[in-house]
């Protein structure tokens, strides 16, 4: 039998896992709902309002980002993160309208019955450039490469290595300042899930662990900087950045993606 905790990483009970499945599906369904609204001319604040209203009034979930304040941060003022073009993560929804060709990550975390579901997707406002579309596709594949590395007995480093290799093989770079994280009754738990690394290193994965895989991949260099609002992170070289995120469960035989819904894009067909 596995112990209840491994290196302070919680092993979820079957009851907890069922609650995580519910929360994960609800988070994904917010993205299904907002997808048709992402188009040129809409503001990220409008998208945030639509998501907030759907979470609170339709799903009866709590948006986890709203007023979330980790140590050293001001409370986050909105219910979603919307990261456009060269914004890497934690973009604060605002009054700027999306332009034709913009790419935007919408990151949703809901709380239902005390458990968190966390997922994000890339969306296009109109027709993206070939480079922008390719970056979004490579990043989606990076996330799935990471997911496919998850199984009992594997190491956290195997996930990071799979993501890093795929990104760099395609001429992109991995942001190192931000990572995936354990998730459950708390928004961010142990372990930290780096999106780069060496195979066979780091925590050994055990059934019942739940965490996010959420690579941030840049078209240019990996360096980032934080804007004066204290939240928004952008690429230093102003190159495009993309991110996709799923919450996953380590099972007895492999991995279950918890943030699935009818509108969630399926696993890609890899070209190798």
Alpha-carbon span 182 to 205, nearest angstrom: 12
Instruction: Give tens-digit pLDDT for 47-60.
Output: 999 999 999 999 99
The answer, yes or no, to whether residue 206 has pLDDT greater than 90, is: yes
Please name each of the domains of the chain with its CATH number.
10-257 (3.90.230.10)
pLDDT at 4: 43
How confident is residue 117, by pLDDT bands cut at 50, 70 and 90? very high
Instruction: Give tens-digit pLDDT for 156-168.
Output: 999 999 999 999 9
Cis peptide before 191 (omega within 30 of 0): yes
8 Å CB contact between 87 and 227: no
Instruction: Give tens-digit pLDDT for 243-269.
Output: 999 999 999 999 999 999 999 999 998
Report, as an integer, the average pLDDT of 120-127: 98
8 Å CB contact between 102 and 85: yes
Alpha-carbon span 271 to 267, nearest angstrom: 12
Q: Which residues, 6+ apart, have CB-to-CB distance to 90 below 8 Å?
A: 76, 81, 83, 231, 232, 233
Instruction: Give tens-digit pLDDT for 20-47.
Output: 999 999 999 999 999 999 999 999 999 9
How confident is residue 270, by pLDDT bands cut at 50, 70 and 90? confident
Residue 98 CA from chain centroid, whole number: 21
8 Å CB contact between 188 and 210: no
Report, as an integer, the average pLDDT of 108-125: 98
Instruction: Give tens-digit pLDDT for 149-200.
Output: 999 999 999 999 999 999 999 999 999 999 999 999 999 999 999 999 999 9
pLDDT at 8: 84
Report, as an integer, the average pLDDT of 215-221: 98
Query: Model-level pTM greater than 0.75?
Result: yes
pLDDT at 269: 87
Q: What is the 3-state secondary structure (H, E, C) of the chain?
A: CCCCEECCEECCCHHHHHHHHHHHHHHHHHHHHHHHHCCCCCEHHHHHHHHHHHHHHHHCCEECCCCCCCCCCCCCCCCCEEEECCEEECCCCCCCECCCCCEEEEEEEEEECCEEEEEEEEEECCCCCHHHHHHHHHHHHHHHHHHHCCCCCCEHHHHHHHHHHHHHHCCCEECCCCCEEECCCCCCEEEEECCCCCCCCCCECCCCCEEEECCEEECCCCCEEECCCCCCEEECCCCCEEECEEEEEECCCCEEECCCCCCCCCCCCCCC
pLDDT at 5: 44
């Amino acid at each position: 039998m596995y112990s209840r905790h491994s290196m302070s990483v919680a092993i979820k009970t079957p009851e907890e896992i069922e609650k995580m499945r519910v929360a994960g599906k609800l988070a994904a369904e917010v993205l299904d709902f907002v997808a048709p609204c992402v188009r040129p001319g809409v503001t990220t604040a409008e998208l945030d309002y639509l998501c907030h209203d759907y979470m609170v009034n339709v799903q009866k979930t709590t948006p986890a980002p709203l007023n979330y304040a980790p140590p050293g941060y001001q409370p986050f003022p909105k219910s979603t993160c919307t990261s456009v073009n060269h914004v890497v993560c934690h973009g604060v929804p605002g009054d700027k309208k999306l332009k034709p060709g913009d790419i935007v990550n919408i990151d949703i975390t809901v709380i239902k019955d005390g458990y968190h579901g966390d997922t994000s997707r890339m969306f296009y406002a109109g027709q993206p450039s070939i480079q922008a579309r390719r970056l979004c596709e490579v990043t989606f594949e990076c996330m799935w490469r990471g997911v496919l590395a998850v199984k009992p007995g594997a190491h956290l480093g195997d996930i990071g290595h799979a993501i890093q290799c795929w990104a760099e093989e395609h001429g992109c770079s991995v942001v190192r300042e931000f990572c995936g994280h354990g998730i459950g009754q708390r928004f961010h738990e142990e372990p930290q899930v780096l999106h780069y690394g060496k195979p066979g290193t780091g925590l050994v994965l055990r059934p019942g662990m739940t965490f996010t895989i959420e690579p941030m991949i840049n078209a240019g260099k990996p360096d980032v900087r934080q804007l004066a609002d204290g939240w928004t992170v952008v690429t230093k070289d102003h190159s495009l950045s993309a991110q996709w995120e799923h919450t996953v469960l380590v099972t007895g035989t492999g991995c279950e993606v918890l943030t699935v819904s009818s509108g969630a894009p399926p696993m890609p067909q890899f070209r190798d």
